[in-house]
Chain A
Amino acid sequence: MSSRRWLSDVTNSVLVQLYKHIPGLAERWARGHRFVEGQGIPWAPLGKPLRESCIAMVTTAGVHLKSQPPFDIEDPDGDATFRAFPADADKNDLTITHKYYDHSAADQDINVVLPINRLRELQEEGFIGRIAPTLYSFMGHIDGPHLKTLMEETAPEIAERLLREGAEAVVLTPA
């Protein structure tokens, strides 16, 4: 590893811990950062009671199957691709590739970022109708040229897949 790369990794690790433990830092960073802004507030009322609805989950926590290619954490602009995996995947088959937040807790218990076991329990209890068949995951660091890919390709593709799979509401979990 080059000394420059080593320094970059160490700096990133320090920043990740600072942002984790001092929430005000992240808020300060967000206030000073220029974001691409979405237009308006999307809205669709839930068409039926929760107990009859099909619920999907999408996360930006960098979760994927161990058998899938990891997200690109070397590109400073991140990675606009996504991973799709079955909602009944065994949690022992899942892993996380993301270097912009501390996922040590989620490494131990994936429900910290993707509450799939909790959602299955709510389905068994009849609190929700059913779980959509596929879970979708991004690595929540997408910047520069990848934003266009996210907005024009990957996000619309996931929305289309969710509709095709019968999802009537989506729980988004950030990280």
Chain B
Amino acid sequence: MKVKPPRALFLRYPFGHPLGEAFHVRQQRRILIDALTGLESIREPGTILTPGYVWRRHAFD
């Protein structure tokens, strides 16, 4: 099934890790906040946010 979501956040992370690494609270929190913030910031249906975090290399401060 292929659908176009109204809003999305895309990260080039391994399958099975949409929120990142286990027990990495700052990473999980940042990704969830990015997604939620899109609810207010995105005005164009189909917009995909790409924050570009690099797997295991981005410093989530």
State the A residues within 8 Å of B (CB).
16, 19-21, 23, 26, 35-38, 40-44, 46, 49-50, 53, 55, 61, 101-103, 105-106, 108-109, 111-113, 115, 118-119, 121-122, 127-128, 142, 147, 150-151, 169, 171-175
Rounded to whole Å, the gap between the CB of B56 and the closest CB of chain A is 12
- Which 4 A-B pairs have CB atoms at the shortest separation, nearest pair first? A35-B2, A109-B22, A38-B3, A101-B16
Q: Name the A residues within 8 Å of B3 (CB-CB).
A: 37-38
By the criterion CB–CB under 8 Å, are B29 and A118 in contact?
Answer: yes
**What are 11 inter-chain pairs, A to B, with CB distance below 8 A?**
A19-B15, A26-B15, A35-B2, A41-B5, A41-B46, A44-B6, A111-B25, A112-B21, A115-B19, A118-B29, A122-B36
Q: Which listed residue, A20, A49, A50, touches B15 by the CB 8 Å rule?
A: A20
Closest to A49 in B: B40
User: How many residues on the B side are at the interface (Cβ–Cβ under 8 A)?
Assistant: 30
B49 interfacial contact with A, CB 8 Å: no
Q: Which listed residue, A38, A147, A175, touches B18 by the CB 8 Å rule?
A: A175
A75 to B6, CA, bound (A): 31
Q: How many A-B residue pairs have CB under 8 A?
A: 111
State the B residues within 8 Å of A (CB).
1-6, 12, 14-23, 25, 28-29, 31-33, 35-37, 39-40, 45-46
- With A50-B39, A171-B32 already in contact, the answer to whether A23 and B12 are too (CB < 8 A) is yes
- With A23-B14, A38-B3, A42-B6 already in contact, the answer to whether A122 and B33 are too (CB < 8 A) is yes
Q: Name the B residues within 8 Å of A121 (CB-CB).
A: 29
A23 to B23, CA, bound (A): 23
By the criterion CB–CB under 8 Å, are B22 and A106 in contact?
Answer: yes
By the criterion CB–CB under 8 Å, are B32 and A112 in contact?
Answer: no
